[in-house]
Amino acid sequence: MSYELRTGETFGRGARRSCRREIARAIEWSQRPADGELSPVHQTRKHLKKARAALRLLSPVVGEKKFASMEKKLKKVAKLLSEMRDAEVRFHTVRQLMATFHLEKDHVLDETETLLGFELESFLAASGDWQGEVAQRLRRLRIRIGDWNTEELNCKQVRWVVQQTYDNGVQALREALDRPTAENFHIFRKAAKELTYQLCLLAPIDRPFLEPHVEALKILSEHLGNAHDLAFLGERLRKLETGAEERSTARAFFELIGLREKELQLRAATLAEKFYAERVTDFGKRISRRLAGWEEQQAGTISLAQKNPRFAGAMNGQYPTS
């Protein structure tokens, strides 16, 4: 798995490599044709989110100004894809809802699916050569990150970033529970996703401890992602003009969307309250012990590699280890 630390790798080197590789993966996906089950637009955005999560880990050593500038540029690239992704979400959510509840197509559902399909095609056509622009921008950003000196990133700084990401989730969850709107749950989901990616990257420091955390976050994020897609679909459909005959069917469809959205939010909130029950500082301390252990272990590995070129080559995959 490439989105994680490697043996003998410092925190700074691993986070920088992972950030640059996710940008490279985003470029790769942006050039693929939309002819399979996986959407190039969605995959490009996903890899950009992973790149930004790794970028956040580098912020203590690159400085807040440089970090903020790079994050802003990556966000701008993602924004180029937002309308296309939104149209994809609406179209596929209708299909998913029909499959989940075994709905038979009627006049309203058929027209809705047709309209959203046409809307998706229109956005794709209007976006022109988005692949070329995305790739060009990302290649420049990837080169710039490669020039950064990140070797000084230490376990205390990593602990601070991860603890802050966890705290962001705690605050966002509290707001979502106090005011359970689709937007507040979406904000919480973004905080949970960032923590997911950071823990994925750090998983080798203690897999038995971190991997269950990652799986729990993935499940609640999936529930919230599906709930947000439903809310987004409902908001778009309410703007469509309907005749008197169709309003009763449309009303029932909206009720179904709302019920399913609330069900998913409740499931996610139940999981989230358990996950984020630990005090922020206690979570940070547990992470800190494991980060310090990895840092000490890797310092010994790097020292051995410096004394033994063959061992260094094996670490980098240049020689067989046996």
- Residues 287, 218 within the same domain: yes
Residues 120 and 265 in one domain: no
Q: Does pLDDT of 319 surpass 60?
A: no
> 20: domain range?
8-152
**Shared-domain flag, residues 271 and 250:** yes
**What is the percent of the chain with per-residue pLDDT over 70, rounded to a whole number?**
76
Whether 178 and 43 map to the same domain: the answer is no
44-83 pLDDT, tens digit each: 999 999 999 999 999 999 999 999 999 999 999 998 887 7
Is 258 a member of any domain? yes
Say whether both 302 and 172 belong to one domain. Answer: yes
Write down which residue in 152, 178, 203 finishes a domain: 152
Output the six-digit token pair for 46.
């996903």
271 assigned to some structural domain: yes
Q: Give the per-residue pLDDT at 82.
A: 78
Q: What is the pLDDT of residues 187-243, one digit of tens each?
A: 999 999 999 999 999 999 999 999 999 999 999 999 999 898 888 777 777 766 555
316 assigned to some structural domain? no
Distance CA 240, CA 93 (A): 17
Q: Which of 104, 136, 152 is the last residue of a domain?
A: 152
- Whether 284 maps to a domain, the answer reads yes
Token readout for 246 is 């169709």
Position 27 in a domain: yes
Residue 282 and residue 203 share a domain? yes
Question: For the chain, what is the domain count?
Answer: 2
Query: Is residue 148 domain-shared with residue 41, that is, in the same domain?
Result: yes
The CA distance from 160 to 151, in Å, is 17
Claim to verify: residue 39 and residue 184 sit in the same structural domain: no
Do 171 and 252 belong to one domain?
Answer: yes
By mean pLDDT, which of 18-22, 215-219, 271-275, 312-316 is the weakest?
A: 312-316
Contacts of 255 (CB under 8 A, 6+ apart): none
Taking the CB of residue 178, how many other CB atoms lie within 10 A of it?
8
Q: Tell me which of 130, 152, 174 is where a domain ends.
A: 152
Is 237 contained in some domain?
yes
pLDDT averaged over every residue in the chain: 84
Query: Residue 243: its pLDDT value, please?
Result: 52
Residue 321 belongs to some domain of the structure: no
Both 210 and 285 in a single domain? yes
User: Do residues 112 and 86 share a domain?
Assistant: yes
Q: Is 64 exposed, middle or buried (0-12, 13-18, 19+ CB in 10 A)?
A: exposed
**183, 227 Cβ separation under 8 angstroms:** no
Closest CA to 214 of 197, 229, 191, 233: 197
Q: Looking at the domain assignment, is residue 32 inside a domain?
A: yes
Residues 135 and 198 in one domain: no
